[in-house]
Structure 1
Amino acid sequence: APTAPAPGQSTPAANTAAQTGPQTVTVKSEPSQADWTKVCGKDGGSGTDICYTTRDFVSDQGQPVLAVAVYEMKNPATKQEVRVVRYLLPLGLLLQPGIRFTVDGQQGTAGKFAVCFPNGCFAEAGGVDAGVVAAMKKGTTLNVSVQNQTQREVTFAVPLAGFGKAFDGPAMDPKVLEEQQKKLQSELEKRSEDMRKKLEQPGAAGAAPAPKP
Structure 2
Amino acid sequence: MRLFLLKQRAGMVLSVVLTGIALTWVCNASVAAEPQPETVRETHGDWAIRCSAARPGDCYMVQLGYDAAGNPMAEFSLVRFGEGRQAAAGATIIVPLGTALPEGLALSVDGGEVRHYIFDVCTPAGCAANIALPDAQVAALKRGARANIAFVPIASPDRTVSVSISLSGFTKAYEALR
Whether these two folds match at TM > 0.5 is yes
Is 1:167 paired with 2:167?
A: no
**Structure with the bigger percentage of helix:** 2
The amino acid of 1:130's aligned partner reads D
Aligned pairs for 1:48-87 within 5 A = 52-74=60-82, 79-82=84-87, 83-87=89-93
Match of 1:137 in 2: 142
Secondary structure of 1:135's counterpart equals helix
User: Where do 5+ consecutive residues of structure 1 fail to align?
Assistant: 1-32, 42-48, 172-213
Q: Do the aligned partners of 1:50 and 1:72 also contact (CA within 8 Å) in 2?
A: no
The amino acid of 1:63's aligned partner reads N
Residues 153 and 60 of structure 1: is their aligned pair in 2 closer, same or farther, counting only changes over 3 Å? closer
Task: Give me the whole-angstrom Cα distance separating, in 2, the residues matched to 1:95 and 1:170.
Answer: 31
The amino acid of 1:36's aligned partner reads W
Is 1:36 paired with 2:47?
A: yes
Secondary structure of 2:164's counterpart equals strand
Aligned residues: 128
User: Where do 5+ consecutive residues of structure 2 fail to align?
Assistant: 1-42
Aligned pairs for 1:68-107 within 5 A = 68-74=76-82, 79-82=84-87, 83-107=89-113
Structure 1 position 60, deviation (Å)? 4.9
Residues 105 and 60 of structure 1: is their aligned pair in 2 closer, same or farther, counting only changes over 3 Å? closer
Task: Give me the whole-angstrom Cα distance separating, in 1, the residues matched to 2:106 and 2:176.
Answer: 27
Secondary structure of 1:136's counterpart equals helix
Secondary structure of 2:99's counterpart equals coil
Match of 1:27 in 2: none
| TM-score normalised over the length of structure 1 | 0.52
Structure 1 position 56, deviation (Å)? 2.1
Structure 1 position 124, deviation (Å)? 2.3
Structure 1 position 39, deviation (Å)? 4.9
Residues 62 and 145 of structure 1: is their aligned pair in 2 closer, same or farther, counting only changes over 3 Å? closer
The equivalent position to 1:121 in structure 2, one of 118, 127, 133, is: 127
Residues 71 and 110 of structure 1: is their aligned pair in 2 closer, same or farther, counting only changes over 3 Å? farther
| TM-score normalised over the length of structure 2 | 0.61
The equivalent position to 1:109 in structure 2, one of 115, 131, 136, is: 115
The amino acid of 1:113's aligned partner reads F
The amino acid of 1:162's aligned partner reads G
The amino acid of 1:90's aligned partner reads P
Secondary structure of 1:52's counterpart equals strand
Structure 1 position 85, deviation (Å)? 2.0
Identity %: 27
Secondary structure of 1:96's counterpart equals helix
Task: Give me the whole-angstrom Cα distance separating, in 1, the residues matched to 2:120 and 2:112.
Answer: 25
Task: Give me the whole-angstrom Cα distance separating, in 1, the residues matched to 2:113 and 2:46.
Answer: 26
Match of 1:156 in 2: 163
The amino acid of 2:105's aligned partner reads I
Q: Give the superposed CA RMSD.
A: 2.6
Residues 59 and 166 of structure 1: is their aligned pair in 2 closer, same or farther, counting only changes over 3 Å? same
